[in-house]
Structure formats: structure tokens, C-alpha cells
Chain A
Amino acid sequence: MSLLSITDLSVEFGHNRTRVLDQACLSVEPGQRLGLVGASGSGKTVLASAVMGLLPDNAYVMGSVVFQDQELTTMRDKEFSALRGQKMSMVFQEPMTALDPTMKVGRQAGELIGLHQQTSPKATRTRVEEIFDQVGLSHASRIAEAYPHELSGGQRQRVVIAMALVNNPDLIICDEPTTALDATVQAKVLTLLDEELSRVNAACLFISHDLGLVSRLCEDVAVIYAGRIVETGPTAKVFHDPQHPYTAGLVATANIDAVTPGERLPVIEDFFDPSQEVRS
């Protein structure tokens, strides 16, 4: 039984029912890491929001999202709240805004534990320092006493990852978790994410537009284009032998090293004509 299975999930917005996600089907097994790649506006974040139940009120959701044998699309807020943060958690893109500037980070992380478990303040504190230590924040007790603006970008993102891991969830959704970081920090954070996912054996839905990151972290990948999932499969296979022309375009445009100097860089349109896709 899959941990998360999404069947024919469509999302429409507003009065004129603009369809931004069209009959998406995906499944994530326990411990599996699935990359979700696509251009900006292709529906990646909407898909993640639908899974987390974070869509705005003007969104219409059709289809089904089953997580651990529970249907999420019809679940009531109260039950959903108990599930979120406990069994599934999320790592955000922007570490700058993902932490409350008026609250010490240790307290913020501790709050997440207190929401789902009955623990003493001391046990909570110990757990917070333990998890901070695990995500490679040296002097965990000192960091726990810091406000977000006193930490660097990399440190902040480590805190955000620690907060996602603190309740040992079964599924972690990462929405472009390294986009806001510079290249060296990005590599370190990715390595950390890789190690921690293996350690706690959590499944991961990794949303990104960076094919390199996805191929490093995920064994499987799904490619989304204009609200449709156009291709799914093992990462190596999809990237080496893309079946859908859009995927072929994505891979070719990402692989700039293969272009001989002086030649024109490939664009997606070389491989794929969007106007034909819409009609089909």
C-alpha cells in the first residue's frame, strides 16, 4: 500500500474555473523519494498545497489524495491539523520568512513538539537541542536561544529542516528548499537532507526546477507541464531516455555542457511545440 497516492487530482481556481492541475496521478511509497520537476507556474506548488490542504478557499479540488489509507480531500480541518506536522511536514523555500522573527528558534521548534505530544518543557528542550545537533547546527543550545535574524541563511534553513524532522514524520514535502541559498550552502543543505531522510526513513516529495538536485537526491521523478504530469519513472531512466518531448527539452536545456562553444543554446521549443500539446 502506498504511503501517498494521488489519483486524478484536478484543481481549479476562481469563478471561471481556471484549471491549474489536470488529472494528476502520483504515488509515493514509504521511504521513497520522488522528485517533481517543472517550470514556474506548471502546478508544482499547487500539487503540494493540495496534498497539505493549504489551497485557498477559491480553489475547487477534484479527485482523490489518500495518505496512509485516509482520504485527505474531504478531511475536516481538525483531523487534518492532527495529521500535519505529525505524519507529514514541509520544508519551505525561503528560510528568511519561514521563521517567526519575534520568536526564538528553539521555542518555535519546541512548539511543534508540544502540539502533537504531551511532554515536559525540559524534555521538549532536550529534543530540540538533539535535533538541532543532528542537522549540524553546532552549539545547539546557543542557537536555540537565537532569533532568526541572528542566524545565517544556511543556519536558518537547517532550523527549518530540523523543524520538519522534529516529530519524525512519514512524509516530508520540500518546496524548492535550496533555491534561496548560495551554491556552496545549497550543496551542504542537500547533503544534510539526504542523510536525514535516510536516517529517519521518511518519504519525500521534492519539488524543484533544478534537474541536477533532483537526480542527486531522488530515485524517482515526475515531470509536470502545464498542470499535467507528463512523465514518471526512475530518475536515471527519465533523464537519459526521456519519452515525452517536453522532458527531452528540459534535459537538453539543463545540460549546457554538452553544447559546443559557438553553437546556439537549445531551447525547449526545439523539442516540443506547446500549441500542439494543448490541442491533444
Chain B
Amino acid sequence: MKKLTLIVGLVCSGFVVLVALVSLVWTPFDPTKVSTHRYGGLSWPHILGTDGLGMDTASRLMTGAQTTLLVGILAVGIAAVIGVPLGIYVGMGHKMLGEVVARASDILYALPALLLAILLAAAVGASVMTATVAIGIATIPIFQRMARAATLTVMSQDYILAAEVAGTPRFIIALRHILPNIAPLLGVQAAASFSMAILAEAGLAYLGLSAPQAVPAWGRMLRDADIYTAPGQAVIPGIAIAVAVMGFNLLGDGVRDYLDPRLREVR
């Protein structure tokens, strides 16, 4: 049962990655080429039909996988690169700063990604990048809290005390002893946040706060689909988003079960 989660997760997320890679070298049509063949149904050579501007849906779907992965990687990257060091630093002591960071995290946590995205879009214009940065910033508190909590647990272990007794500088302790010990937890969180970021970006794109129409992105395709004339055009990217989100979520769960510290010893 546990293995099934991991396998389904791997297959779904692996498929998205594979499609994105293939789209780098080959798509059936140019994903941004406008044609007169508007709202074409499922037919050869446009196997998934065409959208309102006559662009090939299959090609856009494939290229859209790139956008999706980019959004996930960048958003999680921003959140982890800022949140994790901050969490470890605060978790290793520094009571005053710890309070400040904790409250700042609370404030940021209360601010939804949507609001941040609207602010950013208003300030610098809507694009995939502004949406991604907004999602990344909104995810920082999650990583900061998790890293802090995990660091606190690790700090109470004797091997940290032993390292301190041996005169190890704090920075080295953080890098060599704390980070490797909290990495499994962070990895699982990264997978979960990855799927959340994908979903959030799709939502923002649907609201017109992310990709412009020319850029192939799943959320944008959902927005541009006319559900009366060509309902399939909304269903197809919808399925793609569902597969990607479910895939990375299950991958995270599967990895967590696999790395469960209670099972670690017997593995």
C-alpha cells in the first residue's frame, strides 16, 4: 500500500517531467502559432483540438508542462532558500530574533498568495514570474517553521552537544549536522509545496494574474477555453493540472513513508 503511493506518484510526476523534456525538442506544432482553424475538435492532425486563436492544444499542453515545472521549482526554491536557513538559525538559539522571525512568519502566513500576486502584478505587471515569486514568498513561512521545529528536535540530541564540546563552529554544526538530519523532512515538504505551487499558479493564471495568452500555461489555457463552443479545451488542461498536482503530492507522501524514521533502522 505504501509502495503503491510512491509508484503512482513517481509515474504521474515522471510523466509530466518527460512531457516537458520532449517538448523542449519536439511538439506537433508551434505552440504559439495562430491559425484560422479555431475551436477545432479532437481530430487529426490537431489530436487535442485547437483553441480560440487556432493554436494547437496538444503542443500547448506539452510546452505548458515546462511552465508548470518551472513554477514549482522556482517557487519552492525561493521558499526553501530563504525559509530553511532562517529556520535553522532561529532554531539554534537567538531568542529575541526567534520571536521577531516567528511573528513575521505569522504575518506573512496570514497574507494569502493571491493578495501578494495581485500586489506584485499591479506593481510590475502580470507574468508567470510575478505569480511564481508571489507563491514563493507566501510559502516561506511553511519552510521556516518546519526547519525551526526540526532544528529544535535535533538540537536536543547529544551529538550536537558533542560537536559543541569539540569546539565545532556553529556554522559547521548547522551545515554538517543539522541540515542532513532535517533534510528528509524538508524534502517531503518540498514535494508537497511543489504541488501546491502548481495549483496556485494555475489558479492565478485563471484569474489573469500570471501567464499572458501567448505563453503556453495550463492555468491560462483553462481561462481561454470557451466552455460553450469547445468544452474539451477546458477539460484537457484541467486533467493535466490534476495529474501533476496529484503526482507530486503522492510522491511527497511516498517519500515520507519510505524515509519514516521508525522504519529507518530496519531498512
Which positions in A face B, CB cutoff 8 Å?
52, 54, 57, 80-86, 89-90, 92-94, 97-103, 111-112, 115-116, 149, 160, 163
Chain A residues with CB below 8 A from B181, complex form: 100-102
With A97-B157, A103-B176: A90-B167 Cβ-Cβ less than 8 Å: no
Interface size range of chain B in the complex: 20 to 34
A116 contact set on B, CB distance < 8 A = 167
Question: A99, A102, A115: which contacts B166 (Cβ < 8 A)?
Answer: A115
Most buried by A among B161, B166, B169, B265: B166
Contact yes or no, B158 A81, CB < 8 A: no
A163-B162 contact given A102-B180, A103-B176, CB 8 Å threshold: yes
CB distance from B92 to the nearest CB of A (A): 12
Tell me whether B167 and A82 are in contact (CB under 8 A): yes
Are A83 and B167 in touch, CB under 8 angstroms? yes
**Cβ of B264 under 8 Å from chain A:** yes
Determine the distance from Cα of A54 to Cα of B93 in the docked complex, in whole angstroms.
13
Q: A103-B176, A111-B176, A149-B265 are in contact. Are A98 and B167 (CB under 8 A)?
A: no
B165 touches A149 (CB 8 A): no
A4–B168 Cα distance when bound, in Å, is 22
B159 at interface, CB cutoff 8 A: yes
Which A-B residue pairs are the 4 nearest by beta carbons? A85-B166, A81-B167, A102-B180, A85-B167
A93 to chain B, nearest CB (A): 8
The docked-state distance in angstroms from the alpha carbon of A97 to that of B180 is 15
Looking at the assembled complex, report how far the CB atom of A124 sits from the nearest CB atom of chain B, in whole angstroms. 14
- Which of A83, A84, A98 lies in contact with B159, CB distance below 8 A? A98
| Chain B residues with CB under 8 A of A81 | 167-169
Inter-subunit contact B166/A89 (CB<8 Å): yes
Contacts A100-B177, A102-B180; is A92 near B167 (CB within 8 Å)?
no
- Interface assignment of B164: CB less than 8 Å from any CB of chain A: yes
Q: Which residue of B lies closest to A80 (CB)?
A: B167
Are B162 and A92 in contact, CB atoms less than 8 angstroms apart?
yes
